[in-house]
Structure 1
Amino acid sequence: MATNKEIASDVIKALGGKENIQSVTHCATRLRVIVHDKDKINEEAVEGIEKAKGAFFNSGQYQIIFGTGTVNKIYEEVTNLGIAEQSSQETKEQKNEGKNGFQRAIRTFGDVFVPIIPVLVATGLFMGLRGLLTQEQVLAVFGLVPEDISANFLLYTQVLTDTAFAFLPALVAWSSFKVFGGSPVIGIVLGLMLVNPALPNAYEVAAGTVDPITMFGFIPVVGYQGTVLPAFIAGFIGAKFERIIRKRVPEYLDLLITPFATLLVMSILSLFVIGPVFHSLETVVLDATIWLLQLPFGIAGLVIGGLNQLIVVTGVHHIFNFLEVQLLANTGVNPYNAIITSSVAAQGGATLAVGMKTKSKKLKALAFPSTLSAFLGITEPAIFGVNLRYVKPFLFGLVGGGVGGMLADLLNLEGSGMSVTVIPGTLLYLNEQIIWYILVNAVAIAVAFVLTYMFGFSDKEIAKDQ
């Protein structure tokens, strides 16, 4: 078995040598390389690299799929061999290369939300664990009842599960300022202003126990706990405004004037204009999403589950982060998660069928690890390495996702968090839903597996692909 250093050397050689590589970076699963001349890439050699699960061009980058964990080690070895790391400006330019305005907007939206997803994932897992630990059935195993749980322990779990969503605007404003070129610390403070305890709490206002503050006789002002759009727009405008001020203020006055003016102007705009307007728009989006998910006969699950992985391939799936965050912040549950996890599981089922049916040792070596990756929630190796290459497995994976999504919708499955699916996603359903969650995933996998094994693949496809 080759070492990671040897694999990195093979990568550089297959890409045309050091002189053909401009820079390199990576994401969760892929090594992303900018090359000077695409024609110098030996794609057959790339496909034969140990641990590589496929490769393709996207957004101006040649992307080699290695999978979670492995890609970090290969990246480190590649840079140790003298390949330059990709600058943030190069990354931005490459991401936007060949994209229209809508695609660039969605990409930017994703850039804002991706950095804050880890804490939302952790919060969702905390919610799931709290739900497990407070179940009567679980407590009974230890001879306890709910009344035996310490009030202080419950308070601690509340701190774990409520903090991220209570201060969500601060997280969003921080990330927005960072993405749009402002000072992240100003974004944090601006976001915290939106949830200052001096303002009426948004949840209490919604419950009717507290009244909004009326400013200037007609503007209702509340805290914006759990909101996303107001903080996103405030972050976007605030970062641009800060940069305008910084360009016009003498350097010796920059520290004094720039943050003062930015926070003063943006606090007024955010609380009295941006907040009321975009919070109303956000409410409309949330209501529309809930309406869609309440359609009868599992229609929403069928459509979302069937199309989700197709949307992932197009790269505009980041828009759903906003919807999931909104559902969690305002309703405490996320019905999207169970639907989407079906689509992820189904792609793994289709890839498993290919691995089981093929006689090619190389394809088996690619398909089985890709299946495991999909069952752990990451479908890129399965989609780009196997399913899309042979087309029908991908299509039958979509069918499995639609069937599983419809079943999840009919069963009213609701996760306690987001961004973890299939096996890791079980932690979001550690209550009476766990059996149904497992059933939904099993159905999605079974449908995709059977259809792919029976009608979606034969080794003749390998010859066509070569």
Structure 2
Amino acid sequence: MADYKQEVKQIVEAIGGKENIDTATHCVTRLRFVLHDEDKVDQEKLESIDLVKGSFSSNGQYQVVIGQGTVDKVYKQMVAETGIGEASKEDVKNAAAKKTNIFQRAVKTLADIFIPILPAIVTAGLLMGINNILTAPDIFFSGASVVDRFPKWADVASIINLIANTAFVFLPGLIGWSAVKRFGGSELLGIVLGLMLVHPDLLNAWGYGAAQNEGGIPTWNLFGLQIEKVGYQGQVLPVLFSALLLAKIEVFLRKRVPDSIQLLVVAPVALLVTGFIAFAAIGPITFTIGNGITSVFTGIFDTVPAIGGFLYGLIYAPLVITGMHHTFLAVDLQLIATIGGTFLWPILALSNIAQGSATLGMMLATKDEKLKGLSLSSAISAYLGITEPAMFGVNIRYKFPFICAIIGSAIAATFITMNGVLAASVGVGGLPAIFSIYSQYWGVFLIGMILALVIPLVLTYLFAKLRKTA
């Protein structure tokens, strides 16, 4: 194992010494610290260390970007050298939460719920992109799809579509599992809750509008109370609030019911009470709220698409710094469920591409070999949807590349929004994003990608030369 003793000593000194460390852990690429006083950090000294690719503070944690693989070795060396003791991610999160306000904790909660299920959603998005290639007309053949020309591929496309749709059809099950776990309850009950809300005996949420127009919505009659037998396929808010209630009831009962009868009492009572309240109140209320949120976003982007696209393209990357971008995943999923696609997620993809291009501009402009290597690897990572190395390792450190990136992102976002680009699903937020876009918008989105590629790169390169940063 490589010896990082000297680098670890430098890092600890730069963050204010080991006495300034409350708790510390690491993730795939970063050291994560909860510090007693972040004002003691010497960021310039910290980022001058060869091992450090960037640093930033977010949600009560001071994070130092090291790199995949290396960070694990550095963390173990730091524990050995400082004697601070290893901490889990949960320990650090709990310590950091004490330093945040209510709004920051709410954003963090949403992130904790949606990040674990993101791989399933992204995978589904990629598979839906493959299905689009096979079934959409005018991609390879005029007026026809691959399946039309080669019918033997129809069943292959059908299976791919089934696999891809599963994560979205049973989305409440995924959210139920993650949310109940986050709120301190049993994950298994969370899965049951989520699947309960999309039970096949219920009216499918996607058929609600048509059934309402026809006056054919089925109902339960519970002691004179008429409750609609409606499922919540693709919905986010009903399962989130139901999961919170379920977890609270379960925790309450586990503390008071004797161990000998917990199996007979806790889960049945928690699910039964939550189920009644979910279908009678939580579901209808949050379903209305969710549709209202959708209406607000679609209203803005329908009425003033240029402004909506420009602003979201401009602010998305700054939102990533604060962690607030995770809240928009719920909006994306709500839009997909309600209108059949999202106009927000394509902007995310362009923002990631723009960050990569700004970093690439720095690589072309600089003569610093360390910065060249960091910029190239970071740009490739951003083009594949992971922007942390690019943003925190290069763009924010030098400031002007970050500004050039958000300018390019805003211009590209304005263009695609004015042309009504929609994504069928959430996929990989970089160059592969085009496969998640509805095929009829591929040409327009490709132009948007070119804008996001060229504008930040050229602006960053010229500005770097002008400032003689290179």
Give the drift of 1:37. 8.4
Aligned partners of 1:60, 1:310: CA distance in 2, in Å?
17
- Provide the aligned length of Structure 1 versus Structure 2: 455
Gaps of 5+ in 2: none
SS of aligned partner of 1:31: strand
> What secondary structure sits across from 1:13 in the alignment?
helix
Matches within 5 A, 1:57-76: 57-67=57-67, 70=68, 72=69, 74-75=71-72
Which amino acid in structure 1 is aligned with residue 61 of structure 2?
A: Q
Match of 2:118 in 1: 117
Q: What is residue 265 of structure 2 aligned with on the other side?
A: 257
Secondary structure in structure 2 of the residue aligned to 1:63: strand
1:212 match: 218
Q: State the one-letter code of the partner of 2:218.
A: P
Q: CA deviation at 1:358?
A: 2.3
Q: Write out aligned runs for 1:22-421 (5 A).
A: 24-34=24-34, 46-47=46-47, 49-50=49-50, 52-67=52-67, 70=68, 72=69, 74-75=71-72, 78-79=75-76, 84-136=85-137, 145-146=148-149, 148-149=151-152, 152-208=155-211, 210-215=216-221, 216-296=224-304, 298-421=306-429
Question: Which SS does the other structure have where 1:32 is aligned?
Answer: strand
SS in 2 for 1:200: coil
CA contact (8 A) 2:359 2:401 kept: yes
2:462 alignment partner in structure 1: 454
Assess if the C-alpha contact under 8 Å between 1:422 and 1:441 holds in 2: no
Q: CA 1:456–1:99 in 2, change beyond 3 Å: closer, same or farther?
A: farther
Contact persistence 1:194–1:224 (CA under 8 A)? yes
**Structure 2 equivalent of residue 14 of structure 1:** 10
Change in CA separation of 1:356 and 1:97 when aligned onto 2, cut-off 3 Å: farther
TM-score, normalised to structure 2's length? 0.87
**How much has 1:261 moved relative to structure 2?**
1.2
1:431 shift after superposition:
2.8
CA shift digits 1:53-82 (9 cap, x unpaired): 212344443422235xx2x45326634885
Using a 3 Å threshold, how does the CA distance of structure 1 residues 439 and 8 change in structure 2: closer, same or farther?
A: farther
Structure 1 residues 221-230 or 354-363, which shifts more?
354-363
Tell me how far 1:51 sits from its aligned partner.
5.5
CA distance in 2 between partners of 1:217 and 1:35 (Å):
54
Letter in 1 for 2:386: I
Cα contact 1:376–1:424 (8 A) shared by 2: yes
Deviations 1:107-141 (A, max 9, x none): 11111111111111111111110010124456759
**Which amino acid in structure 2 is aligned with residue 213 of structure 1?**
T
**Contact 1:328–1:334, Cα closer than 8 Å, also in 2:** yes
Distance 1:58 1:152, change over 3 A: closer
Percent identity of equivalent pairs: 34
TM-score normalised by the chain length of structure 1? 0.87
Q: Distance in 1 between matches of 2:308 and 2:30?
A: 31
- Asked if the contact 2:313–2:411 (Cα under 8 Å) also holds between the matched residues in 1, the reply is yes
Change (3 A) 1:457 1:283: farther
Unaligned runs of 5+ in 1: none
Change beyond 3 A, Cα 1:239–1:318: same
Q: Secondary structure at the match of 1:441?
A: helix
